[in-house]
Amino acid sequence: MLELLTEKFSHALEKLTNARKITEKNVNQALREIRLALLEADVDYRVAKDFIKRIREQVIGKKAPKNLSPAEFVIKTVYEELVNILGGEREDLKKGTILFVGLQGTGKTTTIGKLANLLKKEGKKVAVSSTDIRRPAAMLQLQRLAEKVGVPYYEFEEGLSAVEIAKRAKEKAKQENIDYLLLDTAGRLHIDDELMEELEDIKQETQPSEVIYVADAMQGQTALETAKAFHERLELTGVILTKMDGDARGGLALSVKEVLGIPIKFIGVGEKIEDLEVFYPDRIAQRILGLGDIQSLIEKAQEVITEDKAQVMATKVITGEFDLEDLREMLRMIQQMGPLDKLLSMIPGVAPQLKHIKVDEKQFKKIEAIINSMTPEERRNPKIINMSRKKRIARGSGTTVSDVNKLLKRYEEMRKMMRKLQKAGGMPAIPKMPKMPRFPFGGFKF
């Protein structure tokens, strides 16, 4: 996600960091590269122009604070301006009826299913309904998604108008004390007056708490112009960007708030029902600058690792009781957190290098197969594994003796490293699950 911007920004700012002296000339050169990167990423040209202008006004001719080097001062200013154009503070989704609008083919119906799943996980009462009477398949798709997520789908008799369906769905949601009614609408072009009037009538009838425009992030400025037309007719309250995991260059994400004045609420980052993320402007800014996203990484870890489980695992590591069963459990946790390349992109400094890293997640499966082929005694005490046992384990896991040897060698290296850290006093007592940190930037925090 946003690899192009990350690479270009990192390259431009790295020159400043490595410069012996920060001058107006090399600052202007870095800003020129950043401006070209923004335009190449399909950011609205006025947004790019104003962005560079604001940074230039804040850094050229100004003295850096005492706790910052000149280079850090410039980078910090770039970060703050990135957060601003991405929307500043995150805005929560208001409870009530959420009306979803947009073009056909942007992933609107799928996004509603993903959002229903996310809200349900947060303990909210959610229901969904569709007013797309022109495409029964779209209604059926949403119904199937609702069944998969485990939330009610409000279905009504045939022959009702889209407006009447919306009205009845809202009444039913009110009766059932639903927190969020997610209301799908037919995809339409903004130049189709009849369909746009239908949307206006649905909005008038339901008085939604939010009117969300679903946009394909890969469409760039085209999507922005269409969103602008919808905004003029419906007064949008937010945007959800889909396909942010593809080759989206990021231009739409960086333009929405500045051009439309409304926030991005969520982003779609994959095809699975779980692949919808809350949009945090500060975290996206960190990713663009190659600083990773520690907060999101921690949250993903907390989804699959309870604090009690983390405490038990940490205690075993510290006391040297970490065995192959624990290694298998750790690998399973990592896989539950999502694709490894996405996790790596959240680690500071790794994202710019991701294009050079080939992640073979099949290795996880191979390691797990080898460990599964061992007896419980062998997993707890690998020292008893002799050649005949290795041959049996290799046959049982569909691997080779060489593969078994490599796993045992790496496991032993891990144990030695842990013992060295413990003797050197480098291992903490028993680490707690980390709280959400304020993100450190170089030698300072903000």
Own/partner long-range contacts of 437-442 (Cβ < 8 Å, ≥24 apart) = 437/294, 437/295, 439/282, 439/286, 439/291, 439/294, 439/295, 441/72, 441/75, 441/76, 441/79, 441/291, 442/69, 442/72, 442/75
Confidence of residue 332 (pLDDT cuts 50, 70, 90): confident
Instruction: Average the pLDDT over 247-266 and give the result.
Output: 84
Specify if 338 maps to a domain: no
Whether residues 32 and 178 fall in one domain: no
State pLDDT tens for residues 132-176.
888 888 899 999 999 999 999 999 988 899 999 999 999 999 999
DSSP state of 76: H
Bridge pairing between strands 444-445 and 440-441: antiparallel
Query: What's the mean pLDDT in 408-420?
Result: 77
The answer to the question of residue 343 being in a domain is no
Instruction: Measure the CA–CA gap between 84 and 324, rounded to whole angstroms.
Output: 47
Q: Between 393 and 307, whose confidence is greater?
A: 393
Q: Indicate if 113 and 57 belong to the same structural domain.
A: no
Residue with tokens 């495409």: 135
Three-class SS state of 274: coil
CATH number for the domain harbouring residue 31: 1.20.120.140
pTM of the model: 0.68
Q: Count of domains in the chain? A: 3
- Is the per-residue pLDDT at 402 higher than 80? yes
CA distance 142 to 109: 6
> Using one digit for the tens of pLDDT, what is the confidence trace for 266-277?
999 888 898 898
| Residues 121, 59 share a domain | no
Rg of the chain's alpha carbons, rounded to an integer? 26
Q: Residue for token digits 């805005």? A: 91
299 falls within a domain: no
Q: Which residue has the higher pLDDT, 352 or 25?
A: 25
Question: What CATH number is attached to the domain comprising 382?
Answer: 1.10.260.30
Domain assignment of residue 350, yes or no: no
Co-location of 118 and 239 in the same domain? yes
For residues 116 and 172, membership in a common domain is answered with: yes
Helix intervals (H) in 208-336: 221-234, 251-260, 281-288, 294-304, 307-319, 324-336
Q: Could you tell me if residue 436 is inside a domain?
A: no
Q: Which H or E element spans position 343?
A: helix 340-345
**Last residue of a domain, which of 62, 86, 110?**
86
Q: Which two tokens stand for residue 74?
A: 């410039």
CATH number of the domain within which 125 lies: 3.40.50.300
Tabulate helix, strand, coil % of the chain (nearest 5): 60, 10, 35
In a domain, 72, yes or no: yes
At 59, the amino acid letter reads: V
Residues 186 and 130 in one domain: yes
Which of 232, 259, 278 is the C-terminal boundary of a domain? Answer: 278
- State the amino acid at position 213 in one-letter form: Y
- Is residue 436's pLDDT more than 90? no
Order of strands across the sheet that contains 276-278: 153-154, 126-130, 180-184, 96-101, 210-216, 238-242, 264-268, 276-278
Q: Is residue 48 part of a domain?
A: yes
**What is the residue range of 18's domain?**
3-86
Which pLDDT band holds residue 443 (cuts at 50, 70, 90)?
A: very low
Q: Indicate whether 188 and 255 sit together in one domain.
A: yes
Which of 86, 106, 126 is the C-terminal boundary of a domain? Answer: 86
Percentage above 90 pLDDT, the chain: 35
Please tell me the distance from the alpha carbon of residue 223 to that of residue 321, in angstroms, as a whole number: 55
252 and 327 in a single domain? The answer is no
Q: In this structure, what token pair is assigned to residue 216?
A: 């394909």
Name the band, by pLDDT with cuts 50, 70 and 90, for residue 20: confident
Residue 297 domain-assigned (yes or no):
no
Q: Are residues 70 and 116 in the same domain?
A: no
Together in a domain, 108 and 222: yes
| pLDDT tens column, 205-254 | 999 999 999 998 887 778 888 898 899 999 999 999 998 876 556 788 88
Mark whether 154 and 173 lie in a shared domain: yes
State residue 434's pLDDT score. 35
User: Is there a single domain that holds both residue 108 and residue 66?
Assistant: no
Question: How many C-beta neighbours within 10 Å does residue 224 have?
Answer: 21
